[in-house]
Structure 1
Amino acid sequence: MSDGGLNVTLRPQTARVLKRLAANPGQLVTKNDLLNSVWTDTHVTDDSLVQCISEIRRALGPSNSKLLVTVPKHGYKLMASPGHNFEAEVKSGLSARQNQKRLRNAFFVATAAVVLLVAGTILYLRPLDTTLDGPVTLAVLPFANLSENTGQEYLSVGLAEDLLTDLSHNNELTVLSRSATFSYRQFDDAAEKIREELGASHIIDGSVQRDRERIRISVQLVDTSTGATVWAERFDREIGELFDLQDDLRERILGELLAEFGLNEAYAARPADVRAYEMLLQGRYFEASLTHSGVVEAIELYKRAIDIDPSYGDAYARLANMYDFMSRYGWSASAEGDRALALEMAERATRLDPENPFAHWSLARILSRVDGSNESAARAINHLEHAITLEPDYPDAYAFLALLKIGNGEYDASRNSIEKAFGLNQKPPSWYIRNRGIISYFEGNYDAAIVDFTMSAEMNPTAHFSRIWLAAALARAGQTEDAEWELEEALALGAPDTVDAILRSNELIRDPSLRSEYSEGLRAAGVPD
């Protein structure tokens, strides 16, 4: 199978587990069934099966790993259509693009509003609030890449992302988040779906075509209530005039929609050279894969952007996050060295571009984990609050601030912050949901915590963070067998294996009583000291 363009070879046992699951699409396959059918003549422990499940999820990749669902105390489900030949796909090593296309056709995806079967109990997930304020609610779709070179997709996606960011700085305009809208690109009736599901009054759709040093962008503004095109225009420019083109595009859209409102120009400073910006767009494209290879590629591209323009604050902020990823996920030769580089790059970003909210968010994120001290945590909170001052509707800042606040034992402030984040991001990522679960855990609402940790784990099954928290919450709720199951999965995914090691990896939880509460949940789940 392929993940982010890299072929993944499965071990024979793992391929047999996958074959068994694929032969029963959407059906529960019990642990005993898998153990007996795959290891017919050999006795193995449950750990062998868990390792195979983890390997299959890594092979499916970040976008599709959630389709392999764990049903605690019972077994697993592969949410695929009948007749899909996974075994052939494993052997052929399809490219990422081919694999994703086939998966889209073969799978049906469970959304965050579905009912989860957990430990035999139906847990109804809390619906997201899609009530939107303001005279205009705007959704931006990723632009279609019409260039002959498919490698130019970073440009079409990046331009749409930056248009979304620029438009969101107008306080009279509600702009839906990237995570809420970009997945609608695949639908022919995107305008109708976005209106019904997200409440958008207008969408921006377009395409990008590049031919060497010339670029053509076609854009249309659509009224979702009627499907009518309010405005459409085509821009033909030299690639060196890209910034002027972006300014024209933003002002034309705002001019059509909001003639009575003023423009807000408080967006991140641009580099002196458009080539640096192009390197940044390419880096963001690779960064989004959340794979080791993607992060390594992004680092090199951000470095090239800085070589072209040493004063490019946004590139330093992006580079800081990549070094932090390398350190946190065990991808670096020296975790301590990469952590120091991350801090250095993030601090430089805020000095070079002090009005850039993302730079302050990046620095806060790194400071919060650098040494676990109260001083670093206080600095992190200050930078997050400054990011919110610069951009009052910055959902990521509120979501991360919520975690820092609960770490200090500030229950009300933490709950208010996470609710603000969910109100601003209509399709929150898994880490928002995990943070909300952590707050519920420390509030003693273990049932709500279990719902959120389960949802977060299913959204990002290859990460162990949510499963460790889920194990602790299940144990505190008296569901010890389920907790042991989740702990097995977390350990197979590389989670720390002692209470002390887990606490060291959660330095954000600083309040002694909360650390004690978390420790008790871990011990009850079976984690040794």
Structure 2
Amino acid sequence: MERRLTTIMAADLVGYSRLMAADEEGTISRLRDARTYVIDPAIMEGGGRIVKTMGDGLLVDFPSPVLAVRAALLMQRNLISRESPQREDRRLRFRIGIHLGDVVIDGDDILGDCVNITARLETIAPAGGICISRAIYDHVQGKIEAGMTWLGPQSVKNIPEPIDVWQVEVDGTAPSAVRLSGQARASIAVLPFQNFSATPDQDFFVDGLVEDVITELSRFRWLFVIARNSTFTYKGTAKDVRKIARELGVRYVVEGSVRRSGDRLRITVQLIDALSGAHIWAERWDRPIADFFDVQDEITRRIIAGIEPELGAHERGLALAKSTDNLTAWELCHRGFAELLSFEAGSQATAEKFLRQALEHDPNFALPYAYLARHRYALVLWGRAADVPVAVKEGLSFATKALEIDRRSDIAYAMMSLLLTVDGRAAEAMPVAEQGLALNPNYAFLHFAHGMAAVRLRDADTTIRAAQNAIDLSPHDPSMFAFKTLLGIGLMLRGEPDDLSTARMHLREGASFERTTYYPFIGAALLALRAGNTDEVRIWISDALKKFPNLNAEYVREAAHPFYEGSPYCDYLDRLIEQGLPPGEKRLIEE
């Protein structure tokens, strides 16, 4: 089967059925003249070949992106001029989409995703306008006499990944109605790092590091990451970061430098909000360079651990700062997640409101569904679920819906795994977490989900490893209290001589956060009880009741039994009652 790389243009006449109904013969005659005097000459000048016509549209193959866009501009400008004497509702107006990609040759026809994407780009264009993909933009930038406006990543029918779209400006044409997509992801470009080493031949190491960072950031589904081929065109240039960001159509830029001196390597990286010019995050590492590639892997992990959480926090801050009357689906989603992470009693209802509003804006947006699943998990975790089984069932339904929309949603995999574990189905939860980790090994919350399933399966070593991974990957995570608690519980389960004192330390840290749950308090109390230290047990129970006045043994038994059942601690809960934990009926921890 023959294949080749080519530039495809799709053009479609706007309102064809309406025009034909109003004046069938006149429309056919004017369309024939437009083809003869405007459209075909423009295509011929650009070296294009008309693959097929569809009555009101045509598909054209061009030898280059620049020739295709120049032909489209010539066609649209001349057609606007030619049609200007007609009434507005009678004018012939074409929408044009252009994309560069691989096609399958089938006789005189061409097939494949490239053709499908081009057709979708055409539907985004306004009447008389032109929309192009990033592949085209990268080739025509600076080579056409027209401005280009970034419309952001656009989700289109039957195409699994959003398409990064630009509108080519044509005088007399309105802006595209879609503008920036309501669910446009945060966009970031990792620029080539500067090589300040004494020997320029270290470029291979510097470029390899940047390529690894781009690859690993791309695993996060909520991030739109510009490809290497686009960012590396700026290598060796001295352009202003804000200008580069505008040209690439991104809000965030990562830049850095590498300096090698002797057997030491110094790497500096910073994350910039190009819209405001603010530096969101910066870090520096000094390492011995005994092994280039070991250092490369380590630094890549540390860069990702720094950038991703800080970027998420910045996006939530931007959403919180905006008026709730003027939020996009993306902003509503992050506003809801920010409320969810505030851990205040009233914030849970507010979080759900914003997340559901995001879905009203865009029902095919996977992220709000994933966050709604996390919302239900949070209700159980914080003792705020009126009915734990119902909350778990709803959460699993939300996670399933998120994965139906986006099969690579790391957040949805994490939540499905956690909710299955809470439901006592850890054997099912474990492979779900592992599948998510195969897609994105850099997402700390997925490691946490993996560890929670391992606790239920009494796999202490996996629990400890997963918790430590979560801590290392996101050292400033809002859920650090949970990561520390999980690590403490894993060490409790393993129970080696040095483990219990280390477990006590991590549980104490988990309990010390202002925003924490009762889990580290109960875990530390169980640990003290096993050691026979009843005075410490009473202190932990007293501290827990001060923070969670409605805490009682019955709620702990229902919400936490999957983690203690079958362990050396399963019979200790009743003994905590003897030390001051109210037996109580199951009720909300915070009402």
TM-score (norm 1): 0.48
For the pair shown, which has the larger CA radius of gyration, 1 or 2?
2
- Higher relative contact order at CA 8 Å, sep ≥6: structure 1 or structure 2? 1
Answer 1 or 2: which has greater strand percent.
2
TM-score (norm 2): 0.43
